[in-house]
Every structure is written in structure tokens, then in C-alpha cells.
Amino acid sequence: MTSGPDFYDEAQVFDTYMQRRQRPDNPNDTLEYPVFMELLGDFRDRTILDLGCGDGRFGVELIARGCGTYTGVEASKRMVSAAQEPLASAGGVLHHASIETWTYPQTKFDLVVSRLALHYVENITQIFGWVHHTLKSGGRFVFSVEHPVITSDNSAAVGSGVRQNWIVDDYFVTGRRDVQWMGSQVTKYHRTIENYFTGLQRANFTVEQLREPQPQREFIQDEQLYNRRLRIPLFLVVAARRND
């Protein structure tokens, strides 16, 4: 199977992903993004670390909206290539490294963010520990992942056309899932909502908010798509604060 970074380095996958992100009704922008920004709150003048920063567009936005410093970590070669020039022009710093292997400096950042990357990481306990290590006193950690009802079972996703049903199965059998997606295969890791919550607590975080983004009519104009988005949660977004 293919790791997350290697998956996005496949030319066909990368092109398909970038095309999907351009759609005005894509779920990242209409579901995950509004809730993520709400949980971020005021990040002006904050030092920010972005784990799995992708093509850098989110980093450019954070810089434009007044964050103090921005550091992105990304393992995919294609994503790094797409992010380099925009982030450099905006004044951001980009590291070509994986979330698992990057060296996290001690108490450097006010805010650590990660959008839809941590479900590609096997040892989430280790990452939560490193995030705690790299945050300043009282620093915050905001991240999103594919919702556990999605990662539990992928069998209904195989096929063509618009997906009409979802299967929730083996929910409490956590761990590796080999998934067929965007014309290729990738390895993701399934965890329950409780796993995320208790994992943060054990890493000495206080969970401030846990959200399952619901569709909002202001972001989804097509009624059929809006009704479809009401059927099942696609994302889980969590905000936590470092305990000293």
C-alpha cells in the first residue's frame, strides 16, 4: 500500500486532487474550512506550525490575515513543489519532511494546526506528544481528520458514480485501512472519536471543542448536494489547549 505523501506524489492522484479542490462545492471548503476557522479564533501575531501543509494555500492565507510567523511541514514532493514559491513570496517557511520524522523544536509555537493529514499517521500518540512539546505554555492545537464513521469501512466507496451509501463497520477495530480512492490506493488509519479525545488528554491537553461540521446553506447552494451532506459527517475538527 501507499503512504499519504507517496499517494499524492502519483501524478494522476495529484492532478485529480487539485481539480477537485477547484470545485466551488468541494467539501473541504464548504464543510471543513468554516468550522476550522471558527475554532482557530484570533491568530494574529501568533507563531503557527502547520503539519501536512499541502500546496501551501492555507499558509498563504494565514500570513495574509496577520499571523506572526508561519512554518509548514509537508512530505509530498509534488505538494512541496506547489507550495514553495507561494509560501516563500508570502514570507513563510517550508520544510520538506514528514509529520513523523520532522524534529519538533521545544516550546516554539503559539498554535499548531493540521488539516486532514493526521489520518495518514500511524502513531498518533507520538504526534500528540511532539505537538505538546513544541507548543508554548497555553498554546493551542487545532486539527481536522476524516470522520471515524468514514474511516471505519471503505467497502461502499468502491465503484463509479456518486456514492449513495456508507457502511459503518469494525468501528472499534482501530488501525490500518487500505483504501481505494481517486483512482489509486492509500493507507489511512482509523480511530474512534474517543481515541482522539483520550489521546489528547493523555498527552496533557485540554479538549476545548470537538465539532462534526454540518452543512450550511450559505456555503452550499445546490439543494440536492446540501441534502446529501446532511446524511453523514465527513470530518471531525478538534481544538485543544496545552496544559503546563
185 within some domain? no
For residue 24, is it within any domain? Answer: yes
Stretch 28-33: mean pLDDT:
96
Q: Which residue has the cell 519532511?
A: 97
pLDDT(138) > 90: yes
Residue 81 confidence (pLDDT) above 80: yes
Residue 67 lies in a domain: yes
* Total number of domains constituting the chain: 1
| pLDDT at site 182 | 87
What is the span of the domain harbouring residue 44?
7-147+191-242
Which pTM does this prediction carry? Answer: 0.95
Identify whether 42 is part of a domain.
yes
Q: What whole-number distance in Å separates Cα of residue 225 and Cα of residue 151?
A: 21
Interatomic CA distance for residues 72 and 49, integer angstroms: 6
Integer Cα distance of 46 and 215 in angstroms:
29
Residue 157 lies in a domain: no
Helix crossing, 77-90 with 57-64: angle to 10°? Answer: 20
Assigned domain for 126 exists = yes
Q: Identify the CATH number of the domain in which residue 64 sits.
A: 3.40.50.150
- pLDDT of 17 above 90: yes
**Residue 232 burial (C-beta neighbours within 10 Å; 0-12, 13-18, 19+):** middle
**Alpha helices per DSSP H over 22-173:** 27, 33-40, 57-64, 77-90, 124-134, 148-151
The reply to whether 164 falls in a domain is: no
Cβ(188)–Cβ(146) below 8 Å: yes
Does some domain include residue 73?
yes
